[in-house]
Amino acid sequence: MSADERPYITCQELLDFLSLYLENELPDASRHEFERHLSVCDACRDYIRQYETAIRLGKSAYARPDDPCGEETPEELVEAILRSREKS
C-alpha cells in the first residue's frame, strides 16, 4: 500500500504530535501525513491557527512582564497574578 493509499491520520494523532510538527522536528514522512490531513480538515487547520495565536500572544505577554496591563484587564486577573508572584 503506498502512502497515498493509506488512510489519513486522525485528528487526535495530529494533535498528539502537533508541537513536533510546529517545531519542524517531524520526519519527512510524518510531516507529509500531517500536511495531507490538514489539506482536508478545516477543523485542524483552524485549531492550529488558534494554537499558534495563543502561543504568540503568550510570548508577547511575557516579553515585558513589568509593563502595565491595559485598562480592559479584569481587576480579579491582576490580583490573581500579583498573588501568584508573591508565592514565587
Residue 51, domain extent: 11-87
4 in a structural domain: no
- In the predicted structure, residue 8 carries a pLDDT above the cut 90: no
59 in a structural domain: yes
5 in a structural domain: no
6 in a structural domain: no
1 in a structural domain: no
**Around Cβ 56, how many Cβ atoms within 10 Å?**
10
41 in a structural domain: yes
| Number of domains making up the chain | 1
Distance CA 51, CA 36 (A): 19
Distance CA 29, CA 35 (A): 10
56 in a structural domain: yes
Contacts of 36 (CB under 8 A, 6+ apart): 8, 9
Give residue-wise pLDDT tens across range 11-42. Answer: 999 999 999 999 999 999 899 999 999 999 99
